[in-house]
Amino acid sequence: MSGVGAIFRFHLGVGVRLASHAAAPLVGVAVAWVGLQEFPGAVLAAIAQGLVAPGVDPATRWIFAAFLLALATWAAPRVTTGLAGWIRHLPASGTSHRRAALLALVASQLPALVACALLAAGLVAFGQAVSIARLAAIPLVALGAATVALPVRRRALTSALGAASIFLALSPGWLTLGAAAALLLAADRLSGPLAAPSRMRRRRGSARRPILAVISWRAVGLRAVPALAPALLVLGFAALFLANNPVTPAVASGAVRFGGLLAVAILMSGIAAELSVRRPVWPWARSLPWSSSRRVAADALFLALPALPLVAVAAALDPRAAIAVLLATPLLALRAASALRRAQRLRIGALGVVLIEGFVVAGLAGLVPWGGLLFAAAAPLALRAAARAERELPVSRWIAIHHAAAGDSLSWSAK
């Protein structure tokens, strides 16, 4: 096997492993959601038609593309960690590593791609029409999502080209598909090597800054911005719902409470996912003169502040509902800070925990008008629980249950 083939095979394996990690919670949520519908078969058929049938409203395809992008964004730091290090000394070019990492990001989207293929096969089995152009667009969208998510030296350029290729691939016609493919080729040519992690930058005057927030900001920075897109999309759906349906003020307020808190939860889940990878919780900080409550509160504040613009958008839709969203935000932030402490022991990670808990809180807030007060009152309890999770956090970064002491010269348990 050639060197390029070996590198591709290696990264493909990493991507498939990530896909298998993502598959279990995704399949579980999808099965539960479809199962809860009144007519599950009809819902599946509508999704399948929206994805690959000719002449159907593009909304389903856009949501699917956003989902693929979320998967690729989740996988990107997991695939690229270490690619700028030891592995670069092996006899393979930087271009091979970059392309193989791109392949791994496509592979990480396999749960969604396989589901799409199964839905298309279902349509064919039931004798319904399938658009070949729409089917061909799916891999291009996956490649576009991977291109957007891959950290390369000219990230802004390749992200723009990747996003434009997704837009073109989702537009009808073979010509636009060809244009999408051309943009992806251009992105490949212009991307430059994989971006190296920034190290040892000099910082001055950090002694007076809130150091925990500064460290979190360095770790996440503008990487939180992509999580803003699906959050705003949810609020957009809430606005469309209000604009297109004659609903009572109570229902309208409930919709904004639900949409607003779901948007906040989505944004927090994205930031928490970045934090859990790029700035894992730091057990050594326990040796410093800070309380566990302070460490947790610092994370919660870091997670809550970026959500304030979403509360402002909710206020534009319904000011009273926005107050409920604002009151429930500290609880969500504290639960997210707690999830960061539990992430390494949970298969679904911090992202999954925050999303599930956020969905429950948003659902309750949508149904119960005074739910905001209840959630505000629950915040101190959440702080206590999060501080306990912080204190009980295992110090070892590897998964202790799988760790074999044999062969590890640093392990006291081998004796």
Partner 1 sequence: MIRLRGARFAYGAGDPILDGVDLDLGEGLTLLLGPNGCGKSTLLRVAAGVEMPGAGRVELGGHDLWGDEVAARRDLAYVPEQPDLTPYATLLEILTLVCRLRGAPLDRAAAALETVGLPRLGSRSVRELSMGQRRRAVLAAAMIGVPKIVLLDEPLETLDRAMRDEVLAWVRSLLAASATVVVVTHDIEPFAASAVRAVTVRAGRAVVHDPLPADPAARMALLEAMARGTSAPAR
- Binding piece for partner 1, criterion CB under 8 A, among 33-41, 48-56, 122-130, 400-408: 400-408
- CA atoms in the 13 A half-sphere facing the CB of 187: 33
Q: Helix 132-149 and helix 174-190: axis angle, to 10°?
A: 20
**Site residues for partner 1, window 64-83 (CB under 8 A)?**
78-79, 81-83
Query: Residue 1 or residue 207: which is nearer to partner 1 going by CB?
Result: 1
Interaction of residue 399 with partner 1, rule CB under 8 A: yes
Cross-strand bridge partners of residue 370? none
Q: Which is nearer to partner 1, 168 or 393 (CB)?
A: 393
Please state the closest distance from residue 227 (CB atom) to partner 1, in A: 22
| Sole window of 40-48, 216-224, 330-338, 393-401 interacting with partner 1 (rule: CB under 8 A) | 393-401
**Shortest CB 159 distance to partner 1, Å:** 22
Please tell me what DSSP assigns to residue 153: T
152 vs 164 by CB, closer to partner 1: 152
Picking from 73, 68, 65, the residue whose alpha carbon sits closest to that of residue 169 is: 65
* Residues within window 167-196 making contact with partner 1, judged by CB under 8 A: 196
Distance between CA atoms of 356 and 287, rounded to whole angstroms? 32
* Residue among 34, 42, 87, 114 that touches partner 1 (CB under 8 A): 87
- Cα 352 to chain centroid distance, Å, stands at 9
- Residue closer to partner 1, measured from CB, 245 or 413: 413
Binds partner 1 by CB under 8 A, chosen from 32, 38, 125, 201: 201
Calpha distance 251→80 (Å, rounded): 45
Kindly tell me which of 21 and 61 has the beta carbon lying closer to partner 1. 21
- Contacting range for partner 1; rule: CB under 8 A; set: 24-32, 37-45, 91-99, 242-250: 91-99
Cβ 348 to partner 1 shortest distance, Å: 16
Indicate whether 84 belongs to the interface with partner 1 (CB under 8 A). yes
CB of 82 to partner 1, least distance (A): 4
Which among 61, 72, 74 is positioned nearest to 137, based on CA atoms? 61
Place of tokens 């099965």: 31
- State yes or no: residue 204 binds partner 1 (CB under 8 A): no
Residue number, 320 or 345, with CB nearest to partner 1: 345
Size of the site for partner 1 (CB under 8 A): 47
Binds partner 1 by CB under 8 A, chosen from 35, 55, 91, 205: 91
- Specify the residue, 158 or 344, whose C-beta has the smaller distance to partner 1: 344
List the interface residues with partner 1, window 293-312 (CB under 8 A): none
Shortest distance (Å) from residue 93 CB to partner 1: 4
Helix, strand and coil percent figures for the chain, each rounded to 5: 80, 0, 20
- Decide: is 203 part of the binding site for partner 1 (CB under 8 A): no
> Which string of DSSP letters, residue by residue, matches 171-194?
SSSHHHHHHHHHHHHHHHHHS-SB
b (16+ CB within 10 A) / e for 220-236: beebbebbbebbbbbbe
Distance CA 358, CA 365 (A): 10
Tell me which stretch binds partner 1 (CB under 8 A): 37-45, 47-55, 90-98, 297-305. Answer: 90-98
Backbone angles phi, psi at 152, to 5 degrees: -120, 175
Q: Is 205 in the site for partner 1 (CB under 8 A)?
A: no
Under the binding rule (CB under 8 A), the answer on residue 94 touching partner 1 is yes
**Longest Cα separation, the chain:** 72
Distance CA 16, CA 20 (A): 6
6 contacts partner 1 (rule: CB under 8 A)? yes
| Smallest distance from partner 1 to CB 195, Å | 12
Footprint of partner 1 on residues 247-276 (CB under 8 A)?
A: none
Cβ burial of 373 (10 Å; 0-12, 13-18, 19+) is middle
Inter-residue contact 85 to 197 (CB < 8 Å): no
Note whether 86 binds partner 1 by CB under 8 A: yes
**Token pair for 201:** 């930058």
Which tokens hold the place of 310? Answer: 């979403």
CB burial class (10 A; 0-12, 13-18, 19+) of residue 156? exposed
Pairwise CA distance, residues 40 & 89, whole Å:
52
* Site of interaction with partner 1 (CB under 8 A): 1, 3, 5-7, 9-10, 13-14, 17-18, 21, 78-79, 81-94, 196, 198-202, 396-399, 402-404, 406-411
